[in-house]
Amino acid sequence: MNPTSLTITQPDDWHCHLREGRLMKTVTPYSTEVFSRVIAMPNLSKPITSPEHARLYKKQLLKISPSFTPLIPCYLQENTLPETILKGHENGDFFAVKYYPRGATTKSHLGVANWKACAAVFDAMSEINMPLLIHGEVTDPQVDIFDREKLFIQDILIPLIAQHPKLKIVLEHLTSAHAVNFVSHADTEIAATITAHHLVLNRTHILEHGLHPHRFCYPVAKTEYDRQALRRAATSGNPRFMLGTDSAPHTLDAKHQHTISPGIFSSPIALPLYAQVFAEEHALDKLEAFASINGPQFHKLPLNTKSITLKAIPPQDNPSYLSLSETPANTKKPKPHLSLAVFQPPIPLQWSLSSIQNKNPS
C-alpha cells in the first residue's frame, strides 16, 4: 500500500527553461514555488555567453521570484574562451556550461558543431570541477531521429570522456534504455537528469488519435521499452539519476503551426507527476533521493532547508491553458501568441502539492 501523503526535502530542478520577456514572467513562478534551485537554460534569443549577461538574466529572474536560486550555465560556442568560463565561475555568474550540438533543439543554431574545438574549455572546466551539461543528440540528418541519443553516446560522448576523463558531466533528459545503461555503468563522474514527461510518454502517445503538439519535445519520446527503463532508473535510488523537468514553454502559435516547436511546459504539474510515477512504481521512498538529494550531492551543494508535502489527491485546479502575464483582462478569447498549454499526462494527475514548510518548525 502506498502512503497517501509524502513530505520530502524541497527539491531542485536541474534543467528548466524560464525563457524571457512575458513568457518568463508567466512561467517562472510555477517553478520557483516548488523548486529551490533552478538551472535556467541559456538558450535565449541572444544566448548567454558572457558572465555579464548571466548576471543580468539572474537579476531579471529574481525580480519575478526573489526567493529562489537561479543557476545559469554558459552557452558553449566553439569560440568560447577558457578565461570567460573561469571568470564566470569564479564570480558565481556561471554555474555550469551547456553544450548544445548545433541545430539539435530550440535556439541551438549557435551551438557546437565540432566538440574538439572546445578542448581548452573542457580542460579548464576539468581543473575546477565545473559541470558540462549536455543535450545528447547527434544532428546528422542521415541519423534516424529516434537513434540520435544512442549515436551521440557512441560517436561523441565516449570519445569526449576519453579525451577529458576528469570532466564532470550531466547527460540531460535521458530518453532511451541505451542512455540509462551508459550512465549506470560509465566509469567517470557522470549524472543524468530525467524529465517527468519522459516517464509517462512513449512515441505512440505523441501520434495516437492524431498528432499531439503538447506531447512533442526534443529529445523526442522513444519506445515503451525505453520509457520503462527510464522509470526503473529514476526510481532505482541510484545517485546518478536526478530530477530535471526540462519544462520548455512555447506560446500556442509556436505549437500550432506548420512546424511545431519542440518543448513541453510541465513545471505547474511536474513534481506531482513525478510523485505519481514513483507511487505507480511502489517507490515513493526513493522520490526524495531523486528530487532533492542526488542533485545537491553531485553538485556539492547543501540540501535545502525547507520541506514540501504532496498528497495523493487530484489537483483542485489544473488549468490546461495559461494566459501570458499582462494579457489585458478584457481579452475574451486568448490569442495564440498570448497563451500556452500546460502538459496533460496521458493518465490524469492523481497527486497534488499540499504545502511547503521549514524542515524543523520551531
Q: How near is the Cβ of 106 to Zn ion at its closest, in Å? A: 8
Q: Which of 173, 250, 286, 299 is catalytic?
A: 173
Q: Which of 25, 53, 58, 135 is catalytic?
A: 135
Provide the 8-state DSSP code for 18.
-
Instruction: Answer yes or no: 282 catalytic.
Output: no
Q: How near is the Cβ of 17 to Zn ion at its closest, in Å? A: 6
Buried-exposed string 218-239: b where 16+ CB fall within 10 A, e elsewhere: bbbbbeeebbebbbbbbbbebe
- When the beta carbons of 135 and 168 are compared against Zn ion, the nearer one is 135
Q: According to CB under 5 A, which residues from 230 to 269 bind Zn ion?
A: 246
Q: How near is the Cβ of 33 to Zn ion at its closest, in Å? A: 20
For residue 171, what is its C-alpha cell?
547527460
- When the beta carbons of 262 and 310 are compared against Zn ion, the nearer one is 262
For residue 101, what is its C-alpha cell?
550540438
CA distances from 4 to 135, 271, 313, 354 (A): 36, 15, 8, 12
Instruction: Answer yes or no: 13 catalytic.
Output: no
Q: How near is the Cβ of 284 to Zn ion at its closest, in Å? A: 27
For residue 264, what is its C-alpha cell?
513541453
Residue 340 main-chain phi, psi, to 5 deg: -145, 155
Q: How near is the Cβ of 41 to Zn ion at its closest, in Å? A: 5
Please calculate the CA angle 105-111-117 and round it to the nearest 5 degrees. 140
> How much of the chain is helix, strand and coil, in % rounded to 5?
35, 15, 45
Instruction: Answer yes or no: 17 catalytic.
Output: yes
Q: How near is the Cβ of 229 to Zn ion at its closest, in Å? A: 20
- When the beta carbons of 190 and 308 are compared against Zn ion, the nearer one is 190
Cα separation, 30 vs 267, whole angstroms: 6
Number of residues that bind Zn ion (CB under 5 A): 1
Instruction: Answer yes or no: 299 catalytic.
Output: no
Instruction: Answer yes or no: 164 catalytic.
Output: no
- When the beta carbons of 192 and 338 are compared against Zn ion, the nearer one is 192
**Cell 495559461 belongs to residue:** 322
Cα separation, 113 vs 101, whole angstroms: 6
Q: Which of 25, 58, 89, 98 is catalytic?
A: 98
Q: Which of 12, 13, 93, 246 is catalytic?
A: 246
Q: How near is the Cβ of 38 to Zn ion at its closest, in Å? A: 12
User: Which single residue brings its beta carbon nearest to Zn ion?
Assistant: 246
- When the beta carbons of 77 and 247 are compared against Zn ion, the nearer one is 247
Q: Which of 12, 13, 15, 25 is catalytic?
A: 15
Site string for Zn ion, 194-233 (x = CB under 5 A): ----------------------------------------
- When the beta carbons of 104 and 338 are compared against Zn ion, the nearer one is 104
CB atoms within 10 A of CB 211: 10
- Regarding 93 and contact with Zn ion (CB under 5 A), the answer is no
| E strands in the chain | 5-9, 13-16, 37-40, 69-71, 73-75, 96-99, 132-134, 169-171, 190-194, 241-243, 306-311, 321-323, 339-341, 352-358
Instruction: Answer yes or no: 135 catalytic.
Output: yes
**Cell 489537483 belongs to residue:** 315
Cα separation, 107 vs 250, whole angstroms: 12
- When the beta carbons of 16 and 291 are compared against Zn ion, the nearer one is 16
Give me the residues that bind Zn ion (CB under 5 A), please: 246
List, by residue number, the catalytic residues.
Answer: 15, 17, 98, 135, 173, 246
